[in-house]
Amino acid sequence: MAEEIMQTILDRDPNEREFHQAVGEVVESVKPVLDQNPVYRKLRILERLVEPERVILFRVPWMDDRGEVNVNRGYRVEMSSAIGPYKGGLRFHPSVTLSILKFLAFEQVFKNALTTLPMGGGKGGSDFDPKGKSDNEVMRFCQSFMSELFRHIGSNTDVPAGDIGVGAREIGFLFGMYKKLRNEFTGVLTGKSLNWGGSLIRPEATGYGSVYFAAEMLATRNETLEGKTCLVSGSGNVAQFTAEKLIELGAKVVTLSDSSGCIYDEAGIDAKKLAYVKLLKNVRRGRMEEYADKYPDAVYTPVDPSLDFNPLWNHKGDCAFPSATQNEINAVDAKHLVENGVTLVCEGANMPTVPDGIDLFLDSGILYGPGKAANAGGVSVSGLEMTQNSMRLSWTREEVDNRLKMIMKSIHHTCLDAAEQYGFPGNYLHGANIAGFVKVVDSMIDQGLV
Ligand code: NDP
């Protein structure tokens, strides 16, 4: 049946490479679950799960500062509402396609199920590139995007958030337009600013959560992060707060990157240097290259398309935190990481490691935390933001952070328990896929053929 499903999606949408990759991974994990539960086969659960409940595709026309008209494509993939309203981020990046959003929405379904909170899965976005655009251009784009999206979302229907290219600025413009069109102030987006309904710790949540998950994995080997050398990729939201928590716990962060290149700072990126990175990326919207101008002991390596590997992953280290984008660790990078002594890989990004790389990590006994478990802290605190909005109150930083820690601990246990139960002891990847799958499909069965 697993093979049939893969053939069906390959025949139906032959060009959706990223989606095939994400489905293939889950299908592989849940084979023993299907064998032990014939009812899932009889009710064609997998066939239903791989087809989005709804896909919305729309035109986004907007005017740039020169007065010229531009047209982008907008999407929302509403994948599954089995356990709650659709929930998942919006990505604005030129590489966005339906395949990428379907893979992200599919992953989101299982991730959200692991969080213990009542959230279904979705994802959306546009091929719009915010890089190099003025604030006014970004605002006009967001307003145009929302002028269509607003009729499909709502606090009990579909609750988008941020992702690559969608941070506090974009969420603000999107929320403002939604509020105007609907004439209501609701928690329809998460990742809002604190003054108007946001949650403390939401900006930090994905990065902090990833580090909490890594600490739980290390604890199974009686180790901690203190003194560990860590390779972190990206320099956006997830990378910044992953680095912040690692520094706080006594680890040494030696790398960061953006899509133009990476920096290696052997002495370690300390809190002061990280504050500079935040200013550079969040306020000045500059490039990582400038880090090496500011701190000349650091080495900047620009992206070289002729290389078949990313130099960032070719440094000595103990732990790796890929926190930029999908498939950023290829098979050669994975080999470099193993050769350089890395013993833990914790995915802040979604699907950052290619399947051959994952196999190598698992075969080499590396502690491997898959994105759908390790980066679930972001959507978890989004869920807590929804709860606070419904109750019309705000929890303290400590309260949200403690809940985040508890959720990451619980996800860690859930993965290990499910993996053990189905014969994959210590395998977080199979554990995450199986635990998320069982919760979602049992809910689908309870709700009948809809
Ligand atoms: P940001 O837009 O804040 O940062 C993304 C970072 O990754 C930037 O440094 C960007 O560089 C780099 N990057 C993006 N695309 C590429 C590429 N094709 N090649 C190399 N580098 C690239 O996004 P986030 O930090 O929010 O997201 C990072 C990852 O984490 C994504 O996979 C996202 O899906 C995942 N994630 C995010 C969550 C969140 O709460 N924000 C929650 C769960 C997962 P540049 O500036 O040059 O574009």
Strand partners, 329: 353
Element containing residue 264 per DSSP (H, E): strand 261-264
Active site residue 123: yes
- CA dist 435 and 347 (Å) reads 18
- Which token pair is 273? 């240097």
d(CA 433, CA 243): 27
Q: 317 and 219, same structural domain?
A: yes
Find residue 60's DSSP bridge partners.
72
- Residues 284 and 167: their CA atoms lie apart, in Å, by 14
The domain that holds 168 is classified in CATH as: 3.40.50.10860
Q: How far apart are CA 74 and CA 254, in angstroms?
A: 37
Catalytic residue among 123, 133, 273, 439: 123
Range of the domain at 83: 52-184
User: Relative to the CA of 166, which ligand 1 atom is closest?
Assistant: 2
178 domain-assigned: yes
222 and 101 both lie in a single domain: no
Split into its structural domains, the chain has a count of: 2
- In a shared domain, residues 210 and 351: yes
In terms of Cα–Cα distance, which of 230, 189, 240, 237 is closest to 86?
189
- How far apart CA 27 and CA 133 sit, in angstroms, is 40
What is the Cα–Cα distance from 292 to 314, expressed in whole angstroms? 18
Torsion of CA 19, 21, 23, 28, to 10 degrees: 180
The best mutation among 114, 163, 202 to test binding of ligand 1, ranked by most ligand atoms within 8 Å of the C-beta, falls on 163
> Is 261's C-beta closer than 6 angstroms to any atom of ligand 1?
no
Q: What count of residues does the chain have?
A: 450
List the CATH number of the domain containing 266. Answer: 3.40.50.720
Domain stop point among 352, 374, 396: 374
> Do the domain assignments include residue 36?
no
* Whether residues 157 and 213 fall in one domain: no
Q: Is 125 in the pocket of ligand 1 (CB under 6 A)?
A: no
pLDDT in tens, the chain (450 residues): 678 899 999 999 999 999 999 999 999 999 999 999 999 999 999 999 999 999 999 999 999 999 999 999 999 999 999 999 999 999 999 999 999 999 999 999 999 999 999 999 999 999 999 999 999 999 999 999 999 999 999 999 999 999 999 999 999 999 999 999 999 999 999 999 999 999 999 999 999 999 999 999 999 999 999 999 999 999 999 999 999 999 999 999 999 999 999 999 999 999 999 999 999 999 999 999 999 999 999 999 999 999 999 999 999 999 999 999 999 999 999 999 999 999 999 999 999 999 999 999 999 999 999 999 999 999 999 999 999 999 999 999 999 999 999 999 999 999 999 999 999 999 999 999 999 999 999 999 999 999
CA 254 vs CA 172, 276, 327: distances in Å: 33, 15, 21
Query: Considering the domain boundaries, does residue 97 fall inside one?
Result: yes
Closest-CA residue, ligand 1 atom 2, reads 164
